[in-house]
Amino acid sequence: MTDRKKICLDGDWTLFYGPNQEVAAKAERLATREALEQSGLPMIDAKVPGNFELALLDQGLIEDPFFGLNILKVQEFESYHTWYCLEFDYQGVDGSEALLFEGLDTFARIYLNGELIGETDNMLIPHEIPATSLREGANELVVHIRPATIEARKYQLEAGAFALRYNYDSLYVRKAPHSYGWDIMPRAVSSGIWRSVYLVKKPADRIEDVYVYTVSIDKGAKRARVALFYNLALSQDSLKGYRIRFRGECQGSRFEASHDVWHTAGMLEAHVDNCRLWWPRTMGEPHLYDVTIELCKGDQVIDTKRLRTGFRTVELRRTSVTDLEGSGEFCFYINGERFFVMGTNWVPVDAFHSRDKERLPKILPLLADIGCNAVRCWGGNVYEDDLFYNFCDENGIVVWQDFGLACAVYPQDDGFAKKLEVEAETVIKRLRNHPSIILWAGDNEVDSAYTWSGLRRDPNDNRLTREVLPAAVRRHDPARPYLPSSPYCDREAFQRGFDYLPEQHIWGPRDYYKSPFYVNTLAHFASEVGFHGCPSPESIRKFISPEKLWPWQGNDEWLVHASMPEVNFSGPYAYRIELMAKQIRELFGKIPDNLEEFSLASQIAQAEAKKFLVEFFRTGKWRRTGIIWWNLIDGWPQFSDAVVDYYLDKKLAYHYIKRSQEPVCLMCREPANWRLTLVGCNETLREAPVSFTVKDLSTGSVVAQGERVIPPNGRVDLVDLDYSISVQTIYLIQWTHEGRWHKNHYLAGKPAFDLEWYVALMREADLLAGK
């Protein structure tokens, strides 16, 4: 029988803390609770998982960091040491035990019964440390976490390094990049035990790790060839009698294979008849197999691993550059079929990551509800909890996974490269059995960052994304594509310029959303594009002081929630509030003079912009192959591009995007030759019969109607409408498909539009959802 134990050590711990300048000289001597109590350091109760600042908040020692200017006050704790202490009982010590920390932030020394048993220097990966000083009965665990900002000073940066203004102390530290301050997140360089802690005991004979992947599929025969790669730990010199068994089941489709063990690693293939393939949600069902891998000795099962996975193939076809004729390519193929991506960028769900797990169940359903078939895990974040990847597996939402690098030119020395290699190998092994993950990407905008310092440097000299990371993917997950950066600029593209990349982040001036910058983009695939939207007044009142609610001009609290890490109206992120106002003026010709109308006008501008961008790419299918807009939800209360605020209040853009991301959807393509074209898009793999009408809301007249069949995974022009850019109106588009009514709209004409006119027409047609 298997003899695995996993004892959770989460719950109530004791926390000691003190500033570096006062405690650094004696820190290493504080290895027991007794020594800490005698040191005179402050002592409080703390939760694990938890963050230092949240423990202070729970004890009433700081005010809510998300209100007013309070987030600036947590910066004083950046140089603090923390010690987490726990006493626990254990029986049956046999030397096989280890402590498993799923998340330690960041530079930690772990003491068990006063003895140093391990050290960590990476927030982003779990750490398993042999519990060499574990005792029968009472035990004492002390985790000393040193301040990341002080540790960063031990590494000398070279002139070739580059970071955003507030982020240079992040470059050598393997910690969520956003923690140091970003244009979407506050500076909160926290510390803590942010994920669960376990005492684990493993059997002497065990399965160490497994990799289940799809070798090939035959859709016609409904047959798949799949494989298991395994690593074992075995206690005996002789391998006689050991056997590996590999089996799975999904809705009546079963497979099983086994063979004798001839080494502690090996590969075992199986053929799956009547195979239920895993598909993205818009193309089919995301079938998952319950897979069991057993290590046997004779007739006895001595260790077991269970997982849920899906069988599918994935390919990314891309060219180095594209041109005005669109002769380039950036397209995913799932199970041999072209896949049009409609997704969102996934950013931190909380500035303090110990709260991620409690927030995820409330946020994840929004991904499916809004119609996303894809999500891009942005490289400035942590690697998400298993809850996230399981949800995507189960709901057919493909995952583009960045490694944890963003917007910087990172160190190139051997020491840093080795840290990143270990991180990549750990992350790949942890996540590679999730069928939803279709791409490993080396970073976010690091290729671009090579040009941000004013020097035009070739990002292909970056050994991290050209050597270290692809080698890790090849070794540990050879069945998945790898992209060195997003956007990726290889040597040919570097000679042509970023404007010719087939995959782009489309930010630019962020002026009128139909300006030439957007409609003339050469991109086949937009992996980032966004537009600001003000939160509702109800939400704003939760994080802005009453006296600072209005006006927005010269408002320090609005500035800090924009997310400036200092009160500096000329700082790098200070533009974001005024940007919101300018985008209102672009659409409506003037900026409202009160909070309620400002918020409404901003949300309409954001909603129309994001709706337009989604439809611009969809109506261009297959010249365009996907759009991943920025972004679903905020990780703290702020003014941002998110369509759901921190408090889970949906902005108007949420509802507009949801209508535009229907798998079978009717929408208008931008006018050409004085004609506006109604287009039908179908992301399913079956024909889609539709019956439709188009109504001019200004006149009340029906201007088009008909019936058509939209081909599988296709796009078809349905009808041309007379159009004049000088005539402002809103078209209501309605259609039936499979017995259900759907609706969309198109805002026609040239701005500026009248806000009251717009609101009246949209409300009359019940299109101003949520407002």
- Closest C-alpha among 54, 135, 45 to residue 84: 45
State yes or no: pLDDT of 605 exceeds 90.
yes
- The CA distances from residue 386 to 103, 113, 309, 434, in Å, are 13, 31, 13, 10
Q: How far apart are CA 417 and CA 411, in angstroms?
A: 8
Q: In what order do the strands lie in the sheet with 127-130?
A: 5-8, 197-201, 97-101, 127-130
End-to-end C-alpha distance for the chain, whole angstroms: 59
**Mean pLDDT of the 363-371 span:** 98
Contact (Cβ atoms closer than 8 angstroms) between residue 532 and residue 541: no
> Strand runs (DSSP E) across 683-728, as ranges?
688-696, 702-710, 715-722
Q: What are phi and psi of 397, to 5 degrees?
A: -110, 115
Enter the tokens of residue 616: 């611009």
3-class SS at 101? strand
State yes or no: pLDDT of 766 exceeds 80.
yes
Contact (Cβ atoms closer than 8 angstroms) between residue 367 and residue 397: yes
Contact (Cβ atoms closer than 8 angstroms) between residue 711 and residue 687: yes
Number of H helices, E strands in the chain: 19, 37
Q: How far apart are CA 224 and CA 260, in angstroms?
A: 23
pLDDT in tens, 630-672: 999 999 999 999 999 999 999 999 999 999 999 999 999 988 7
Q: How far apart are CA 503 and CA 319, in angstroms?
A: 9
pLDDT at 113: 98
Q: What is the largest CA-CA distance in the chain?
A: 86
Q: What are phi and psi of 308, to 5 degrees?
A: -110, 130
Q: In what order do the strands lie in the sheet with 206-218?
A: 206-218, 223-233, 265-273
pTM of the entire predicted model:
0.97
Alpha helices (H) in 121-246, listed in sequence order: 148-151
3-class SS at 189? coil
Contact (Cβ atoms closer than 8 angstroms) between residue 690 and residue 715: no
pLDDT at 1: 36
Q: Quick check: bond before 631 cis, omega within 30?
A: yes
Residue with tokens 């109106």: 729
Contact (Cβ atoms closer than 8 angstroms) between residue 620 and residue 522: no
pLDDT at 76: 97
Q: Provide CB contacts within 8 A for 502, sequence distance 6+.
A: 318, 319, 321, 322, 328, 329, 330, 522, 523, 524, 525
pLDDT in tens, 486-536: 999 999 999 999 999 999 999 999 999 999 999 999 999 999 999 999 999
State yes or no: pLDDT of 351 exceeds 70.
yes
Handedness of CA 631, 632, 638, 641 (dihedral sign): positive
pLDDT in tens, 719-732: 999 888 889 999 99
> Strand runs (DSSP E) across 67-222, as ranges?
80-90, 97-101, 104-105, 107-112, 115-121, 127-130, 137-146, 192-193, 197-201, 206-218
pLDDT in tens, 217-251: 999 999 999 999 999 999 999 999 999 999 999 99
pLDDT in tens, 157-197: 999 999 999 999 999 999 999 999 999 999 999 999 999 99
Contact (Cβ atoms closer than 8 angstroms) between residue 718 and residue 681: no
The count of other CB atoms within 10 Å of the CB of residue 38 is: 10
- Closest C-alpha among 507, 504, 450, 513 to residue 328: 504
What DSSP letter does each residue of 488-516 carry, written as one string? ---HHHHHH-GGG-SEEE--TT--STTSH
State yes or no: pLDDT of 2 exceeds 50.
no
Contact (Cβ atoms closer than 8 angstroms) between residue 433 and residue 211: yes
pLDDT in tens, 195-223: 999 999 999 999 999 999 999 999 999 99
Supply the DSSP symbol for 158: P
State yes or no: pLDDT of 121 exceeds 60.
yes
DSSP-assigned beta bridge partners for residue 100? 128, 198
Banded model confidence at residue 701, pLDDT cuts 50, 70, 90: very high
Banded model confidence at residue 675, pLDDT cuts 50, 70, 90: confident
State yes or no: pLDDT of 3 exceeds 60.
no
The count of other CB atoms within 10 Å of the CB of residue 216 is: 10
The count of other CB atoms within 10 Å of the CB of residue 476 is: 18
Contact (Cβ atoms closer than 8 angstroms) between residue 163 and residue 155: no
Contact (Cβ atoms closer than 8 angstroms) between residue 540 and residue 599: yes
Supply the DSSP symbol for 633: B
Q: Provide CB contacts within 8 A for 475, sequence distance 6+.
A: 425
Q: Provide CB contacts within 8 A for 591, sequence distance 6+.
A: 581, 584, 585, 598, 601
pLDDT in tens, 274-319: 999 999 999 999 999 999 999 999 999 999 999 999 999 999 999 9
Banded model confidence at residue 771, pLDDT cuts 50, 70, 90: very low
Contact (Cβ atoms closer than 8 angstroms) between residue 191 and residue 51: yes
Q: Provide CB contacts within 8 A for 335, sequence distance 6+.
A: 217, 219, 277, 279, 312, 313
Q: Which amino acid is at 732?
A: L
Which helix (H) or strand (E) segment holds residue 412: the answer is none
Report how far Cα 765 is from the mean position of its chain's Cα atoms: 35
| Residue/partner pairs of 594-602 with CB below 8 Å, 24 or more apart | 594/550, 595/537, 595/540, 595/549, 595/550, 596/537, 597/755, 598/534, 598/552, 599/534, 599/535, 599/536, 599/537, 599/540, 600/755, 600/759, 600/771, 601/755, 602/532, 602/533, 602/534
Contact (Cβ atoms closer than 8 angstroms) between residue 494 and residue 500: no
Q: How far apart are CA 461 and CA 444, in angstroms?
A: 16
Residue with tokens 């853009």: 653
Per-residue burial over 240-256, b if 16 or more Cβ lie within 10 Å, else e, is eebbbbbbbebeebebe
> Strand runs (DSSP E) across 239-288, as ranges?
242-250, 253-260, 265-273
Contact (Cβ atoms closer than 8 angstroms) between residue 553 and residue 582: no
pLDDT at 5: 85
* Interior angle at CA 249, CA 473 and CA 397, nearest 5: 50
Contact (Cβ atoms closer than 8 angstroms) between residue 6 and residue 126: no
Q: Which amino acid is at 303?
A: D
Mean of all residue pLDDT scores within the chain = 97
